[in-house]
């Protein structure tokens, strides 16, 4: 089964831009939820990961806007459960608001491409640790944010705001827009001409900067969203390998498979699955020797005539 990533859209003209193809190419299925259309949000345990994108709303209104308040509760629950979360622009600000940070109005609206400079804390980070050389981020911001205590700022700050943050072991937020493509920008210039005025930028100058930078957006998206997809896949592999191990070790199973018997999970053998369990769980709290309750047994089907064991 592919990993299911919930994508939360806030814009009146929603899009996934470069993010969608990158996540799908990694094998993920996108469960897109459109806040403006009244779509219900998933529960944290119903999806494998969450991507919260940008929007016209302000996370400063999280306490007064029921939709934003519900999203903040979802993001908080997901982070607590270890569900991978990636927030972009408003999504990053929502993570900050949900986790005890602070969102504020910037002194001046920002519409600019700014160089992305990694901090020492970014070394080895799977999402923001390997950005393309010379990468620049597109900022289209009215608000900025301060991360909560314990979060790590992985990128140099821009315009008085945090820029790229690891909020928790599996939660990240970026103030810029790595997903934006040329089609999305056309809508933004047409729909929000007043934003350019507020930022003190002419459309001509903004488009000139776009012409220099947009060609690099796909590579930047592959680094960020591709890295996030890898985190999601690794978490799923750990859970899957642990489930396989638990099924294999279910007590009192008649005709239980021997070490040479095939335990099928999408074509993987028992021994390779057990090997994956050991590799993926090295240094983690997930153990191959999991307790196995009657309810857990429902996940495993009966042995097939060939002696293989299918895992639901």
Phi-psi region of 124 (alpha: psi -120 to 50; beta: other; left: phi over 0): left
Contact assessment for residue 137 and residue 179, using Cβ atoms and an 8 Å cutoff: no
Smallest CA-to-CA distance from 43 within 78, 91, 3, 82 is with 78
Contact assessment for residue 96 and residue 72, using Cβ atoms and an 8 Å cutoff: no
Class of 4-224 per CATH?
A: alpha beta
Beta bridge partner(s), residue 138: 113
What is the model's pLDDT at position 242?
A: 60
What is the model's pLDDT at position 238?
A: 77
Locate the domains of the chain by residue range. 4-224, 249-311
What is the model's pLDDT at position 143?
A: 98
Q: What is the pLDDT along the chain (312 residues), one digit of tens a residue?
A: 899 999 999 999 999 999 999 999 999 999 999 999 999 999 999 999 999 999 999 999 999 999 999 999 999 999 999 999 999 999 999 999 999 999 999 999 999 999 999 999 999 999 999 999 999 999 999 999 999 999 999 999 999 999 999 999 999 999 999 999 999 999 999 999 999 999 999 999 999 999 999 999 999 999 999 999 999 999 988 776 665 665 666 654 444 443 333 333 333 333 333 333 333 333 333 333 333 334 444 445 433 333 333 333
Q: Work out the burial of residue 179: count CB atoms within 10 Å of its CB; fewer than 13 is exposed, 13-18 middle, 19 or more buried.
A: buried
Alpha-carbon distances, residue 47 vs 2, 77, 286, 299 (angstroms) = 11, 12, 20, 18
What is the model's pLDDT at position 20?
A: 98
Which pair of structure tokens corresponds to residue 255?
A: 């005709």
What is the model's pLDDT at position 103?
A: 98
Q: Work out the burial of residue 194: count CB atoms within 10 Å of its CB; fewer than 13 is exposed, 13-18 middle, 19 or more buried.
A: exposed
């Amino acid at each position: 089964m592919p990993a299911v990533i919930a994508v939360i859209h806030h814009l009146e003209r929603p899009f996934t831009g470069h993010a969608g193809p990158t996540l799908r190419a990694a094998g993920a299925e996108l469960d897109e939820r459109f806040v403006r259309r009244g779509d219900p949000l998933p529960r944290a345990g119903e999806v494998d990961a969450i991507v919260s994108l940008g929007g016209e709303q302000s996370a400063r209104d999280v306490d007064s806007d029921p939709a934003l308040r519900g999203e903040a509760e979802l993001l908080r629950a997901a982070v607590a459960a270890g569900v991978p979360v990636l927030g972009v622009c408003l999504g990053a600000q929502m993570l900050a608001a949900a986790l005890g940070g602070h969102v504020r109005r910037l002194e001046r609206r920002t519409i600019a491409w700014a160089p992305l400079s990694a901090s020492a804390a970014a070394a080895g980070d799977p999402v923001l640790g390997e950005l393309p050389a010379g990468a620049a981020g597109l900022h289209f911001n009215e608000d900025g944010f301060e991360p909560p205590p314990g979060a790590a700022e992985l990128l140099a700050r821009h315009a008085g705001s945090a820029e790229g943050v690891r909020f928790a072991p599996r939660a990240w937020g970026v103030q810029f827009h790595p997903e934006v493509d040329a089609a999305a920008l056309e809508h933004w210039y047409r729909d929000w001409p007043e934003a350019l005025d507020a930022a003190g930028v002419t459309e001509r100058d903004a488009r000139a900067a776009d012409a220099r930078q947009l060609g690099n957006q796909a590579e930047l998206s592959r680094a960020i969203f591709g890295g996030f997809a890898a985190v999601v896949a690794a978490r799923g592999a750990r859970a899957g390998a642990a489930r396989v191990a638990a099924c294999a070790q279910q007590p009192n199973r008649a005709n239980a498979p021997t070490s040479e018997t095939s335990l099928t999970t999408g074509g993987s053998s028992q021994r390779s699955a057990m090997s994956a369990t050991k590799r993926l769980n090295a240094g983690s709290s997930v153990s191959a020797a999991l307790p196995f309750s009657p309810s857990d047994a429902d996940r495993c089907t009966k042995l097939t005539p060939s002696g293989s064991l299918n895992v639901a």
